[in-house]
Amino acid sequence: MKNYYSYNINTNCVLIVENDGNIVEIALADKKINGTKKETDIIKKAASQLKEYFAGKRKTFDFPINPQGSEFQKQVWSALQNIPYGELRTYKQIAEEIGNAKAARAVGMANNKNPLPVIVPCHRVIGSNGKLTGYAYGLKMKEYLINIEKNACLL
């Protein structure tokens, strides 16, 4: 059964969706979800850890996730989880990591469909020219997340 609950974390609306004990979606904006509005224990745990992340006090997450997507998308999302906190990679580097050096654009599309932003850190992926490019929640949010990590690394 799909449950969801939304929170206001650092002035950001964060919607967390759980299904069968796994977090399956996080939205950094309010959106309509088919399911039951219910604050389950796993949703509470995810919210608590996200609050710590947004405060610059958490670098990793330890709740169960189960993002839904194609095999290629899952391969990309898995590679994203290997990017260390506070570091950046290019779309080309992720494409090379998954063994398909010419798939940089497809990596970008998989990032765009990432159902678990922050947890699966697609915000850590930039253009080969070093510039911020595309983010489902806008470049301001991408820069905000990168800066949380950059500032926490300075502490």
Between 104-112 and 71-80, two packed helices, what is the crossing angle to 10 degrees? 90
Q: Which has the closest alpha carbon to 108: 93, 129, 86, 118? A: 93
Q: What does residue 9 show for φ and ψ, rounded to 5 degrees?
A: -120, 115
For the whole model, what pTM was predicted? Answer: 0.92
CB–CB of 142/132 below 8 Å?
Answer: yes
Q: Enter the tokens of residue 132.
A: 């911020």
pLDDT at 110: 96
Rounded to whole angstroms, how far apart are CA atoms 101 and 94?
8
pLDDT at 43: 97
Give the dihedral sign, CA 61/65/70/74: positive
Q: Tens digits of per-residue pLDDT, 64-123? A: 999 999 999 999 999 999 999 999 999 999 999 999 999 999 999 999 999 999 999 999
- What residues have CB less than 8 Å from 78, skipping those under 6 apart? none
Overall average pLDDT of the 5-31 stretch: 91
Is 122 one of the catalytic residues? yes
Report, at the CATH architecture level, how domain 71-154 is classified: Orthogonal Bundle (1.10)
pLDDT at 1 over 90: no
Calculate ∠ Cα 144-148-149, nearest 5°.
125
| Strand 89-90 with 36-37, pairing | unpaired
pLDDT at 14: 93
The alpha-carbon radius of gyration of the chain (Å, integer) is: 15
Name the catalytic one among 94, 122, 145, 148: 122
